[in-house]
Structure 1
Amino acid sequence: MMTGATSVLIIYTGGTIGMIKNQETNTLESFNFDYLLKYIPELKKFNYHISTYQFSPPIDSSDMEPVHWARLVEIISTNYDNYDGFVILHGTDTMAYTASALSFMLENLSKPVILTGSQLPIGMLRTDAKENLITAIEIAAAKNPDGTAIVPEVCIFFENHLMRGNRTTKINVENFNAFRSFNYPALARVGIHIKYAQNLIQYPDIIRPLFPHYLFDPNVVMLTLFPGIQESIITSLLHVPELKAVVLKTFGAGNAPQKEWFIHQLRDATERGIIIVNITQCTSGMVEMQRYKTGRQLLDIGVISGYDSTPECAVTKLMFLLGHRLSEKEIRHRMNTCIAGEITKV
Structure 2
Amino acid sequence: MNEPTKILLIYTGGTIGMIKDPVTNSLKAFNFDQLLSNIPELKLLSHEIHTLSFEDPKDSSDFNCEDYINLATIIETNYEIYDGFVVLHGSDTMSYTASAISFMLENLTKPVIFTGSQLPIGDLRTDAKENLITSIQIAGLKNETKSLIQEVGLYFEYKLYRANRTTKINAEHFEAFASLNFPAMIESGVNLNINYSCLIHSKARKLKVHKQLDNNIIIIKVFPGLNEATFSHLINTPNIKGIILETFGSGNTKTEDWFLDTIRKAIRKGIHIVNITQCSGGSVEMGKYATSKHLLEAGIIDGKDMTTEAAVGKMMFLLPKKLDKNVFKTIFETSLRGEMK
* TM bucket, shorter chain: over 0.9
State the partner residue of 1:138. Answer: 137
Structure 1 residue 195: Cα displacement: 1.0
Q: Which amino acid aligns with 1:118?
A: S
Alignment of 1:236-255 (within 5 A): 236-255=233-252
State the partner residue of 1:315. Answer: 312
Alignment of 1:182-193 (within 5 A): 182-193=180-191
Structure 1 residue 24: Cα displacement: 2.9
Alignment of 1:269-288 (within 5 A): 269-288=266-285
State the partner residue of 1:163. Answer: 161
Structure 1 residue 325: Cα displacement: 2.5
- Find the residue that maps to 2:6 and give its secondary structure: strand
The 2-side partners of 1:134 and 1:6 are apart by 14
State the partner residue of 1:338. Answer: 335
Structure 1 residue 328: Cα displacement: 2.2
Q: Which amino acid aligns with 1:102?
A: I
1:177 paired residue among 175, 178, 182: 175
- Find the residue that maps to 2:61 and give its secondary structure: helix
State the partner residue of 1:11. Answer: 10
- Find the residue that maps to 1:76 and give its secondary structure: helix
C-alpha deviations, 1:1-47, integer Å up to 9, x for none? xx722100000000000001123332211111001112210001111
State the partner residue of 2:98. Answer: 99
Structure 1 residue 147: Cα displacement: 1.0
Per mean C-alpha deviation after superposition, the further-off stretch among 168-177 and 196-205 is 196-205
Structure 1 residue 300: Cα displacement: 1.0
The 2-side partners of 1:267 and 1:131 are apart by 50
The 1-side partners of 2:186 and 2:59 are apart by 28
Q: Where do 4+ consecutive residues of structure 1 move more than 3 Å?
A: none
Structure 1 residue 341: Cα displacement: 0.3
- Find the residue that maps to 1:199 and give its secondary structure: helix
2:293 paired residue among 292, 296, 310: 296
State the partner residue of 2:196. Answer: 198
State the partner residue of 2:24. Answer: 25
Q: Which amino acid aligns with 2:283?
A: M
The 2-side partners of 1:323 and 1:182 are apart by 30
The 1-side partners of 2:270 and 2:47 are apart by 51
Q: TM-score, normalised by structure 1?
A: 0.97
Q: Which amino acid aligns with 2:209?
A: P
Identical amino acids, percent of aligned pairs = 50
Q: TM-score, normalised by structure 2?
A: 0.98
State the partner residue of 1:232. Answer: 229
Per mean C-alpha deviation after superposition, the further-off stretch among 333-342 and 3-12 is 3-12
Structure 1 residue 330: Cα displacement: 2.0
C-alpha deviations, 1:281-301, integer Å up to 9, x for none? 110100100100111111111
- Find the residue that maps to 1:82 and give its secondary structure: coil
Per mean C-alpha deviation after superposition, the further-off stretch among 24-33 and 280-289 is 24-33
The 2-side partners of 1:272 and 1:25 are apart by 57
- Find the residue that maps to 2:147 and give its secondary structure: coil
- Find the residue that maps to 1:243 and give its secondary structure: coil
Q: Is the 8 A contact 1:158 1:178 kept in 2?
A: yes
Q: Is the 8 A contact 1:246 1:277 kept in 2?
A: yes
Structure 1 residue 99: Cα displacement: 0.9
- Find the residue that maps to 1:81 and give its secondary structure: coil
The 2-side partners of 1:249 and 1:199 are apart by 30
C-alpha deviations, 1:95-116, integer Å up to 9, x for none? 0011101111110100000000
The 2-side partners of 1:245 and 1:48 are apart by 43
Return 5+ residue gaps in structure 1 as ranges. none
Q: Are 2:221 and 1:211 aligned?
A: no
C-alpha deviations, 1:104-134, integer Å up to 9, x for none? 1110100000000000000011100000000
Q: Which amino acid aligns with 1:185?
A: P
Q: Is the 8 A contact 1:216 1:324 kept in 2?
A: no
Return 5+ residue gaps in structure 2 as ranges. none
| C-alpha RMSD of the superposition | 0.9
